[in-house]
């Protein structure tokens, strides 16, 4: 293994998924979140996910128990002190992420690698507030993490080649396929995916078709496993809107303008 202990910030859907995958390879994992409630939900999700794998006979009872024992849960940032790689998987909000990174400057060892699971925010911008920007990289896992094999790797302007190679090796140790993206808004997946989802929202807003017909057309016409609007619900409309705003602001191109109907649905909750 390329690292000895993995730290994860955020016990939500992405964070607990990364924790499960890392622990299932035999790595000790420390998950940190701001509330006990979030941690309990994260643990329950991992237990449920492992239970499904056990039922399908993809793991044994012993493997399930070992995986759970390797994950520790804490509300203290100090709990990450002994980790040699930390993955930030907090909400897709730049200011929140920057504050977390600033706080980690006081906690992590000089040699620790810090990665962000951001799906669209500039790695270079986040690395600029880390004490060792050459140790900072993007590591964008796909949801759900235990099932999806892709990880997008993103180098910031100052990320060292040596550290980026270690991040790639770590992803491969987790059984993931690693693709490399330049540090541009949306990277690869969301640069392609989000405009499609946004355009699907426009077809509904303009009365071209219903939600159901938009999804059926793309499923049956392009052999996608689910329609773009069903996928948007699965991702979260707020996340889709946030990524479209990053693309629009970052590119300055009207083709990335978020669909007003998408924005309205997010406002409506």
Rounded to the nearest 10 degrees, how much is the dihedral formed by the CA atoms of 88, 90, 94, 100? -60
Concerning whether 152 is annotated as a catalytic residue, the answer is yes
C-alpha distances in angstroms, 187 versus 59, 119, 163, 191, 229?
33, 7, 19, 6, 21
d(CA 16, CA 8): 8
Active-site annotation holder among 24, 122, 190, 198: 190
Exactly one of 117, 135, 140, 163 is catalytic; name it.
140
Q: Annotated catalytic residue: which of 24, 38, 117, 119? A: 119
Query: Among 16, 117, 122, 152, which one carries the catalytic annotation?
Result: 152
User: What residues pair up with 41 in beta bridges, in sequence order?
Assistant: none
| 8-state DSSP, 257 | P
* CB 83, CB 6: distance < 8 Å: yes
Query: CA separation (Å) from 27 to 2, 48, 71, 173?
Result: 10, 20, 9, 10
Active-site residue, 119 included: yes
The per-residue b/e assignment along 226-263, b for 16 or more CB within 10 angstroms, e otherwise, is: ebbbbbbeebebebbbbbbbbbbeeeeeeebebbeebe
Q: Active-site positions?
A: 119, 140, 152, 190
């Amino acid at each position: 293994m390329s690292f000895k202990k993995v730290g994860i910030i955020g016990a939500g859907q992405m964070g607990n998924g990364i924790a499960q995958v890392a622990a299932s390879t035999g790595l000790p994992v420390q998950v940190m979140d701001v509330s006990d409630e979030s941690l309990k939900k994260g643990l329950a999700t991992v237990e449920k996910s492992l239970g499904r794998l056990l039922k399908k006979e993809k793991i044994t009872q012993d493997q399930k128990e070992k995986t759970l024992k390797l994950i520790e849960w804490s509300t203290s940032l100090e709990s990450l002190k002994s980790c040699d790689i930390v993955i930030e998987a907090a909400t897709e909000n730049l200011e929140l992420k920057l504050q977390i990174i600033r706080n980690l400057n006081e906690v992590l060892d000089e040699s620790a690698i810090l990665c962000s699971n951001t799906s669209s925010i500039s790695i270079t911008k986040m690395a600029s507030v880390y004490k060792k920007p050459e140790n900072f990289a993007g590591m964008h896992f796909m949801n759900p993490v235990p099932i999806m094999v892709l990880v997008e790797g993103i180098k910031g302007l100052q990320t060292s080649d040596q550290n980026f190679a270690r991040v790639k090796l770590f992803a491969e140790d987790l059984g993931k396929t690693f693709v490399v993206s330049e540090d541009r808004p949306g990277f690869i997946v969301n640069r392609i995916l989000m405009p499609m989802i946004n355009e699907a929202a426009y077809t509904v807003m303009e009365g071209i078709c219903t939600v159901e017909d938009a999804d059926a057309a793309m499923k049956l016409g392009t052999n996608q496993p689910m329609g773009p609007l069903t996928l948007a619900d699965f991702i979260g409309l707020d996340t889709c809107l946030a990524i479209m705003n990053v693309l629009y602001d970052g590119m300055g191109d009207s083709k990335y303008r978020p669909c007003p109907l998408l924005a309205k649905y997010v406002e409506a909750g």
